[in-house]
Structure 1
Amino acid sequence: MGYVLRQHGATQPEIVKASGLSQQTVSRLVNDLVLRGALRLGDRRSNGRRGQPRMEIEVAPDHAYSLGVALMTDAMSVLLMDFSGNVVAYDYLEMPVMNRKAVFERLGDVTSRFLATHAISKDSVAGVGIGISGYCLDGKSRYNPPRALDDWAMVQIDSLFSQALGMPAWVENDGNAAAIGESFLGAGRVFQNFVYVFIAAGIGGGVITNHKLSRGVNGNGGEIGLVLPRNMFQEPNLETLLQSVRRHGVEVGGISAMLSEFNVDWPGVDEWIERARDPLSLIASSIAALLDPEAIVLGGRLPNALAQKIIPAIELYDDARRSEPRPLPKIMISETQVDACAIGAAMMPLEQQFFSTML
């Protein structure tokens, strides 16, 4: 079903070609999923040839739902997603403290409001996904996040959320979560292999290979910020951007406030881009050399207007040997909307329970 989701619908011959399965197998699987309500038959689509138009198969949006939660150093975002990847409801909550008590109190209120407003049964919610900044410690659900998230350090985060909400839970690093969302709902609709660069208070990322997240042995694949030699570069993140615009007289309270009012023409933005150019070029060139992906996607909490301005400044190092240079990845802006981490987090329960098959 992942293929059908990524393509916004597909015909059976298209599924056969993409999956490598036989026509009989695809037909049986599709019919079974239609009977279960996971897929539905759409309009007939002509292939431009003689003969009967082919029936398009679509993901049924109301088959299931999922929750996505992004835990940030200064805020929490909560997102309700339907089975076809549409955002049903979204809330961004600035939080003076990010301890468990505060998070679960507000999360419970928001979840109840979402379900009541949209007349959705809790039984139809497949689970909750959580994205959090920090390194994974056990390859599963224990993380070492920034100081502002001390209450979430070195504990089984999925178990805490599962107990609080009464549903299955999955947790990933914020960069990995965003990469999962991009794989299903953004660049992954065109590219099977890409690296997501997640820029927020820090910088991280996620590696997608053949539409699957490459987590690494300890769950820390994609920690691309560690490519930068310590103290050699200013880290290209939103904290250093905040410091730069403040130095130039822009009065903003924090990262969330800066993003809500962001203007790419603010004084200090061009200075930040100038300082970010070399470290981002090193990161992008290392990605290209080690992984040879089709694309490098800039996202996270990075404003689109800023991404558009910095991409032309990024250099992919190449020796330019002979007249035909080596193929290099495309550098592009994330195509997911609303909230990259929360969208990816919401995709996690759906991927785990429904979208991990070839179909």
Structure 2
Amino acid sequence: MSTVQIPLATRSPPTESEVRILSTVLRAGECTQPEIVRSTGLSQQTVSRLVNDLLGRGALALGNKRSSGRRGQPTIEITIAPQFAYSLGIALMTDALSVALMDFAGNVVGHEYLAMPVMSRKAVFARLREIRERFFAATPLARDRLLGAGIGILGPCLDGKARFNPPRALDEFAMVPIDELFADELGMPCWVESDGNAAAVGESFLGAGRVYANFVYIYVAAGLGGGIIINNRLLRGSHGNSGEIGRMLPWRNFQIPTLETLVQCLRKEGIETGGVSPMLAAFDPEWPGVDEWITQSRDQFSLIASAIAALVDPEAIVFGGRLPRALADKLLPALELFDDARREMPRPLPRIIASQTTYDACAIGAAMLPLEQTFYATMV
């Protein structure tokens, strides 16, 4: 059995006020102390003291000078210190493994995507160890500053914690505590979320969450899932299954719109891609069959988005997951939010937008899990 190593960076855990400051700076990218005071509600004296403490510990760094446009000394921007800590994000898919190395500022400094014909424990852990060593060779500081690993996996959570019921291709990861399984194999602290929840966390810190504090994330992949962010926090639900978007449509009455159904539409038009991963690698929005998939899917997506707007009333609905941006650009204008448009003042409706993150959404979100669990805050 592997020994789980606790990184130096986590041996002095931040206070609640420090977490608020760090989260504010991460989402803003850079900000001044007065901006931190306004955003956190903390006093100027408290912010000054805690910022200086975090600068001394190496979690924050001084950035550029910013002129206020008035007389006096310019203010100095505060930024996250990228090299303070690192985290690993692992996305377990039915046919692929995606792994990201992220620094403390949310930058992806290493990423590998591997098509996996067999997603067995032996194959996955062997590849993970190889990938981790390649990341360490390219970023030596990460070896001693790795906070841990986050894992995103398909399927519903069974115990509100770490047991999931994924598709058959992930049988060897079903019904077991995923966090303990990976911690034992990798020798580091591990956290796990559904792919949709993980991606929503990543989007909250590094994408649309920098503009919208309340949004619902729709995770489009081989299946259909999602996550809900309320006041910058992930809403997990009683059993960890909030945001299971695909279950809003009874499969007996609707064709669930997924990338698998897109592959089927392409196949009918003579475009043989060999599955979701190869299709995404070569995706062309002008392929015959793409427009047919949009026609088949827009009513279902419109129904889902309209139900979300009515129930949650978010500022935005974000389409992401493994959905190619070129496909999102064609799909989203075709969607409709159902509204009675009563009188001349209809109710406010959320914006429908594409994900603002890059790389693999689940891997990025999974990499955020160790960071938010130890230094930032999204969970409720």
**Bin for the TM-score computed over the shorter chain:** over 0.9
For the pair 1:225 / 2:262, whether they are aligned, the reply is no
- Please list the CA deviations of residues 225-284 of structure 1 after superposition, one character each: whole Å capped at 9, or x if unmatched: 111122222211100000110111001111000000111111111110001011000100
Q: Could you say what secondary structure the match of 2:48 adopts?
A: helix
1:123 Cα deviation (Å)?
2.3
For the pair 1:134 / 2:155, whether they are aligned, the reply is yes
- Please list the CA deviations of residues 29-74 of structure 1 after superposition, one character each: whole Å capped at 9, or x if unmatched: 1011001000011111112233221111000000000000000000
* Letter aligned with residue 33 of structure 1: L
1:117 Cα deviation (Å)?
2.0
* Letter aligned with residue 318 of structure 2: V
> Whole-Å Cα distance in 1 between the matches of residues 63 and 251 of structure 2?
54
For the pair 1:164 / 2:199, whether they are aligned, the reply is no
- Please list the CA deviations of residues 131-181 of structure 1 after superposition, one character each: whole Å capped at 9, or x if unmatched: 000000000000000111000100000001111111100000000000000
Match of 2:70 in 1: 49
* Letter aligned with residue 143 of structure 1: F
Match of 2:211 in 1: 190
For the pair 1:35 / 2:37, whether they are aligned, the reply is no
For the pair 1:350 / 2:378, whether they are aligned, the reply is no
Q: Could you say what secondary structure the match of 2:125 adopts?
A: helix
Q: How does 1:317-336 map to 2 (within 5 A)?
A: 317-336=338-357
Q: Could you say what secondary structure the match of 2:242 adopts?
A: coil
1:121 Cα deviation (Å)?
4.4
Q: Could you say what secondary structure the match of 1:286 adopts?
A: helix
> Whole-Å Cα distance in 1 between the matches of residues 253 and 346 of structure 2?
29
In the alignment, structure 2 segments of 5+ residues that lack a partner are 1-21
Q: Could you say what secondary structure the match of 1:302 adopts?
A: coil
Q: Could you say what secondary structure the match of 1:73 adopts?
A: coil
For the pair 1:109 / 2:130, whether they are aligned, the reply is yes
> Whole-Å Cα distance in 1 between the matches of residues 305 and 55 of structure 2?
43
> Whole-Å Cα distance in 2 between the matches of residues 48 and 220 of structure 1?
49
For the pair 1:210 / 2:231, whether they are aligned, the reply is yes
Q: How does 1:15-30 map to 2 (within 5 A)?
A: 15-30=36-51
Match of 1:86 in 2: 107
Match of 1:100 in 2: 121
Query: How many residue pairs get matched?
Result: 357
Match of 1:278 in 2: 299
Match of 2:17 in 1: none
Q: Percent identity?
A: 66
* Letter aligned with residue 60 of structure 1: A
> Whole-Å Cα distance in 1 between the matches of residues 70 and 317 of structure 2?
37
**TM-score w.r.t. length of structure 2:** 0.93
Match of 2:267 in 1: 246
1:313 Cα deviation (Å)?
1.0
Match for 2:167 among 124, 133, 146?
146
Q: Could you say what secondary structure the match of 2:106 adopts?
A: coil
Q: Could you say what secondary structure the match of 2:344 adopts?
A: coil
Contact map agreement 2:136 2:143 (CA 8 A) in 1: yes
Q: Could you say what secondary structure the match of 1:140 adopts?
A: coil
In the alignment, structure 1 segments of 5+ residues that lack a partner are none
Match of 2:96 in 1: 75
* Letter aligned with residue 46 of structure 2: T
Match of 2:13 in 1: none
Contact map agreement 2:85 2:142 (CA 8 A) in 1: no
* Letter aligned with residue 57 of structure 1: I
Contact map agreement 2:86 2:142 (CA 8 A) in 1: no
> Whole-Å Cα distance in 2 between the matches of residues 174 and 259 of structure 1?
18
* Letter aligned with residue 355 of structure 2: S
Match for 1:302 among 283, 305, 323?
323
* Letter aligned with residue 296 of structure 1: I
**TM-score w.r.t. length of structure 1:** 0.98
For the pair 1:269 / 2:290, whether they are aligned, the reply is yes
Match of 1:60 in 2: 81
> Whole-Å Cα distance in 1 between the matches of residues 68 and 276 of structure 2?
49
For the pair 1:177 / 2:198, whether they are aligned, the reply is yes
- Please list the CA deviations of residues 285-328 of structure 1 after superposition, one character each: whole Å capped at 9, or x if unmatched: 01000000000000000000110111111110101100011000
> Whole-Å Cα distance in 2 between the matches of residues 17 and 231 of structure 1?
51
> Whole-Å Cα distance in 1 between the matches of residues 268 and 142 of structure 2?
50
